[in-house]
């Protein structure tokens, strides 16, 4: 109740300030079982309306973000049953939008806009005259300085409401992963299915999304690793939900992971996709091995932007030096594991022409957990896509990867007893 009052008071403050970033709350309603069934855009490049049909009214919160310009609508546990492909085509000020879960019981719609905008109106209509309940957001074009002023106002209001911000950044507790490894019996393998929820990742021409392919593969790998009885296996997500990149890193460290394996599937635009196929294993490096790897890391690192996360800027030089030291050993182990994976995958699934590459992937930045990112293949390549959706392929590749894990630890155990 207190939280509700707090939310309402924020709304009142917002209303009295006639804020540049609008906040709205509709009539209170039980959120359980709310379904979004359709959505549409109307208007032009000066004023654009976004409407989504709901099975019943819900409370919502709407705000804007910059770099790039976005409008974020936070909702309770809304299930999206929108027609496939909706949101990929824009209109007026909107270039595209996406939707999905961003946390337990928390859904979100992220609208990409092609210019700075103001949320002119935002409200929920009750069902009437045979029409369903509707969430309506009216966007109008503004200039950048008005937009940025609105952002600053919202941030300072938030800082006043939330006195203590709990950071999920793992970097300050550097020794955690190693010190808690201690005398335990089984190595911990953290398997990280990329993307999820509001962030679909790459999408193939036939409409298959990366988040589904990598989730199915991660489950197969989880089962194969578990079946050996030799490992504790942790998944960074167990359902179709968005997990921020730094949270994935934090999970690896909290669990004192001995290995972190992030699973992805790449896709290239048509002009560069011809003839490019096969699996690639990536390790962390500030300097990318090549331009393609650099572009891929930039694309994968956009996950938080896609999900509408407002990233705090942080630069702690001391922390960076500590991380640099810890990462030297971690880096060597990551490279050793990447080579072992490639050796094991060769002959099991097609490999890319240059199968080991490096770049600055945010998800590989746990300073004391050896980490690799595996791109299983290319969704822009028909043959790769066919393999990646096949259950028997998944099983075969998961077993090969498990062999690589076995081989990595047998070497490690021989040298450094656990």
Shortest separation between residue 242's beta carbon and Zn ion, angstroms: 13
Token digits of residue 97: 């939008």
Strand partners, 232: 188
End-to-end CA distance of the chain: 50
264 binds Zn ion (CB under 5 A): yes
Q: Are 363 and 300 in contact (CB under 8 A)?
A: yes
Among 194, 196, 197, 244, binds Zn ion (CB under 5 A): 194
Element (H, E) at 350: none
Stretch that binds Zn ion, among 111-119, 297-305, 306-314, 359-367 (CB under 5 A): 297-305
Stretch that binds Zn ion, among 158-166, 261-269, 391-399, 410-418 (CB under 5 A): 261-269
Of residues 71 and 372, the one with the C-beta less far from Zn ion: 372
Shortest separation between residue 210's beta carbon and Zn ion, angstroms: 5
- Other C-beta atoms closer than 10 Å to the C-beta of 376 total 24
Stretch that binds Zn ion, among 73-81, 188-196, 233-241, 312-320 (CB under 5 A): 188-196
- Cα dihedral 278/281/285/290 (nearest 10): -20
Shortest separation between residue 248's beta carbon and Zn ion, angstroms: 12
Of residues 302 and 395, the one with the C-beta less far from Zn ion: 302
- Rounded distance, CA 95 to CA 252, Å? 35
**Per-residue mark of binding to Zn ion, 349-388 (x: CB under 5 A):** ----------------------------------------
Backbone angles phi, psi at 132, to 5 degrees: -75, 175
Q: Are 138 and 61 in contact (CB under 8 A)?
A: no
- Minimal CB distance residue for Zn ion: 264
The interface with Zn ion within residues 71-100 (CB under 5 A) comprises: none
Stretch that binds Zn ion, among 169-177, 192-200, 246-254, 312-320 (CB under 5 A): 192-200
Of residues 200 and 370, the one with the C-beta less far from Zn ion: 200
Total site size for Zn ion, rule CB under 5 A: 4
Among 201, 244, 257, 367, binds Zn ion (CB under 5 A): 201
- Rounded distance, CA 363 to CA 262, Å? 8
Helices 210-227, 391-415: inter-axial angle, 10-degree rounding: 50
Shortest separation between residue 155's beta carbon and Zn ion, angstroms: 29
User: Angle at Cα 34 formed by Cα 28 and Cα 37, nearest 5°?
Assistant: 125
Shortest separation between residue 231's beta carbon and Zn ion, angstroms: 24
- Helices of type H across 138-256: 144-161, 176-179, 210-227, 245-254
Shortest separation between residue 289's beta carbon and Zn ion, angstroms: 18
Of residues 65 and 376, the one with the C-beta less far from Zn ion: 376
- Rounded distance, CA 58 to CA 124, Å? 7
Stretch that binds Zn ion, among 189-197, 311-319, 343-351, 401-409 (CB under 5 A): 189-197
Query: Tokens 């959505």 correspond to what residue?
Result: 39
Binding site residues, Zn ion, CB under 5 A: 194, 201, 264, 300
């Amino acid at each position: 109740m207190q939280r509700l009052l707090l939310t309402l008071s924020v709304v009142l403050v917002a209303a009295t300030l006639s804020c540049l970033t609008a906040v709205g709350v509709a009539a209170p309603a039980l959120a359980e079982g709310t379904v979004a069934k359709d959505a549409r855009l109307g208007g032009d490049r000066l004023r654009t309306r976004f409407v989504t049909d709901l099975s019943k009214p819900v409370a919502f919160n709407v705000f804007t973000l910059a770099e790039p310009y976005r409008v974020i609508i936070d909702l309770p546990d809304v299930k999206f049953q929108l027609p496939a492909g909706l949101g990929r085509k824009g209109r007026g000020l909107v270039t595209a939008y996406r939707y999905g879960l961003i946390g337990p019981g928390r859904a979100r719609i992220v609208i990409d806009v092609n210019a700075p905008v103001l949320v002119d109106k935002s409200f929920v209509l009750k069902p009437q005259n045979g029409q369903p309940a509707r969430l309506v957001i009216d966007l109008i074009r503004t200039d950048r300085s008005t937009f940025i002023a609105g952002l600053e106002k919202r941030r300072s209001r938030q800082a006043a409401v939330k006195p203590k911000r709990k950071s999920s950044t793992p970097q300050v507790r550097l020794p955690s992963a190693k010190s808690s490894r201690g005398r335990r019996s089984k190595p911990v393998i953290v398997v990280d299915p990329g993307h999820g929820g509001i962030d679909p990742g790459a999408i193939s021409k036939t409409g298959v999304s990366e988040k589904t392919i990598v989730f199915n593969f991660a489950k197969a790998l989880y089962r194969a690793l578990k079946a050996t009885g030799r490992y504790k296996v942790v998944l960074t997500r167990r359902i179709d939900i968005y997990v921020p990149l730094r949270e994935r890193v934090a999970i690896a460290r909290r669990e004192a992971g001995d290995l972190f394996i992030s699973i992805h599937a790449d896709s290239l635009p048509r002009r560069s996709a011809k003839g490019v196929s096969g699996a690639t294993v990536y390790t962390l490096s500030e300097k990318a091995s090549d331009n393609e790897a650099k572009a891929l890391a930039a694309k994968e690192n956009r996950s938080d932007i896609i999900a509408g996360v407002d990233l705090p800027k942080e630069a702690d030089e001391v922390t960076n030096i500590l991380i640099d030291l810890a990462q030297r050993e971690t880096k060597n182990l990551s490279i050793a594991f990447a080579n072992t994976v490639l050796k094991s995958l060769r002959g099991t699934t097609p490999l890319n022409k240059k199968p080991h590459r490096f770049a600055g992937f945010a998800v590989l930045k746990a300073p004391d957990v050896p980490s690799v990112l595996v791109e299983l293949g290319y969704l822009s390549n028909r043959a790769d896509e066919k393999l990646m959706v096949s259950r028997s392929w998944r099983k075969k590749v998961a077993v090969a990867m498990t062999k690589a894990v076995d081989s990595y630890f047998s070497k490690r155990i021989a040298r450094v007893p656990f």
